[in-house]
Amino acid sequence: MKKDEPPLDFPDTLEGFEYAFNEKGQLRHIKTGEPFVFNYREDLHRWNQKRYEALGEIITKYVYDLLEKDCNLKKIFIPVDATESEPKSFIFMSEDALTNPQKLMVLIHGSGVVRAGQWARKLIINEDLDSGTQIPFIKRAMDEGYGVIVLNPNENCIEVEKPKTHVQSSSDSSDEPVEKRERKDKVSKETKKRRDFYEKYRNPQREKEMMQLYIRENGSPEEHTVYVWDHFIAKSAAENVFFVAHSYGGLAFVELMIQREADVKSKVTAVALTDSVHNVWHQEAGKTIREWMRENCCNWVSSSEPLDTSVESMLPDCPRVSAGGHEHTRLTVAM
């Protein structure tokens, strides 16, 4: 760690970073027109990473705004019966998500830093909004008469700063002689001074200690998916429900099937998976679930074969076909 590391204080807007999305949805520097540069400060990897993460948080909020303003989706807070003071998450729904009598599209992203409306933060930053977000899926679905629900399975907790704990000094003991206590205090102060100097040199910017407060009944992607099913999807009027699930989203869908098998079978017509990481053996999905998946699911996977070419699978569940050579984060773009 370098002791001349710049402060970890970053802008909270795209304009503050001097970036903006152009008419093609590409992130570009306002002055130079250049794409985002990760290594903004050479030899300062931690600082560059923190800068990237700060930009990513801004982009998450930017995509949320697009979901509401460009896609006309509504933000719905969960748990539905949350008190004012407890941690909350949210999903996005079209106006007709619960009332559309014909069809409903449900989107589930993968694991990591992505949030509702995103497939891959890396693609949003390095390529464009169409590649990295769910917006093209949402707009096409709505154009074709679907209601839409966008899940937010990684928003499982809120972070708050840990309260500071005060340690009572042992030198406060009134049983010790004054001279002995003074010598101990002097040694303690000198030790602390050396330690603080070393810490400042080794790690000049100590970050705040945070603690996580989990969101009730939404503490994991699997819990979140089941919760949204019970409180929204299962109550929708749609005769046909369709899922698009990427990576860990596929695992969350299989877990939903395990917990709500009969209900899922009665409402879900088809499931498009992209590089799903589900495993019917590890998740202990029964024979009837595996049979249903063979008939109603398809998994587009990374492969050098032409698009939609059948790909052999070691698992006895849904068919696997090639996504046409696309890398993991780009698979949804290929569909």
Distance CA 293, CA 286 (A): 11
1 and 46 Cβ atoms separated by less than 8 Å: yes
In a 3-state reduction of DSSP, which class is residue 325? coil
Distance CA 326, CA 313 (A): 18
Exactly one of 89, 94, 131, 247 is catalytic; which is it?
247
Catalytic residue list contains 89: no
Nearest to 274 by CA among 121, 126, 134: 134
Distance CA 127, CA 122 (A): 8
For 317-324, which contacts have Cβ atoms below 8 Å and span 24 or more sequence positions?
317/278, 317/280, 317/285, 317/290, 317/293, 318/271, 318/273, 318/293, 318/294, 319/294, 323/274, 323/275
Active-site residue set? 247
